[in-house]
Amino acid sequence: MAIDNSWYTEECPEGGSAFSMKLKEKVYEEQTPYQLIEIYETEFFGTLMTLDGLVMLTDRDNFIYHEMLVHPALFTHPQPRRVVVIGGGDCGTLREALRHPDLHTVEMVEIDERVTRVAERFFPELCETNNDSRARFHFTDGIKWVADAAPESCDVIIVDSTDPVGPAAGLYSQAFYASCFTALGAHGVLVAQSESPLYHLDLIKNMRSAMAAAGFPEVAHLHFPQCTYPSGWWTATLACKKTPATGYREHAAAQKTFPTRYYNHSIHKAAMAAPTFFLEALS
């Protein structure tokens, strides 16, 4: 990360590239026991949140990430009722999940409560469902929470994590995926953000292998643009216990009763397509 008073630049050494946003001002900074939270106002992307110098979200494009992390997974499960969100302290993933009227509970497990409190101040639109009676907050270690969860106690687990470094590294392990497998019901679906195919293909391959080794027979990948993340091309990885990972309730997605800005049933289908180099790397 570099700042020259007018631009915020996040460097991506593994990709030999960087992304910059023109700034208006820095409006907040807080060092928590876990990470450094910083908030900026930008000229084009609205409010920007960074954690330890890495872009987490902006007003302008966070809807793509949050919608693609949530809705494909929920429309893949045949009848989701109990959802768990690991991470996602900005509450955008929670909000998208709660758009589904048939959900009974969404357990939100975030290790750093300060991320949520800062988001409530600077990203109130993402936190508008925080008082929904179906939302339950747990500010604790997500890895331990899932390991301690009762078998078959949830339908969908959504892992909205930071990059696989520091406390988040364990969220990419076979042991964690095995805990998810146990906690999920018979048709359970796990989805996790899985970085860029251009820059982090080895990570995606390792995630796929670890999910399979944890017991998931079905693993698939969703592709979508995310211009403020390295390379501008991002993925989420779906793992299913029984339901076909490449199938989904297309009619239900087409007839959904809530608004989205990016996701729709056609985007869902298109996001499952992958370029040749990606398919060859996974074969």
Give φ, ψ of 75 to 5 degrees.
-85, -10
Give φ, ψ of 211 to 5 degrees.
-65, -45
Give φ, ψ of 36 to 5 degrees.
-95, 120
Catalytic residue among 59, 155, 160, 163: 160
Q: Where are the alpha helices (DSSP H) in the chain?
A: 62-76, 92-97, 113-122, 142-148, 174-183, 201-213, 250-254, 265-271, 276-282
What's the distance, CA 238 to chain centroid? 11
> Would strands 2-3 and 7-12 be described as parallel, antiparallel, or unpaired?
antiparallel
Q: Is 90 a catalytic residue?
A: no
- Which two three-digit tokens encode residue 254? 């087409």
Beta carbons of 27 and 42 less than 8 angstroms apart? no
Residue 115 CB-half CA count within 13 A = 28
Beta carbons of 84 and 9 less than 8 angstroms apart? no
- Which two three-digit tokens encode residue 157? 């687990």
211: left (phi over 0), alpha (psi -120 to 50) or beta: alpha
Residue 56 CB-half CA count within 13 A = 28
Q: Which active-site residues does the annotation give?
A: 160
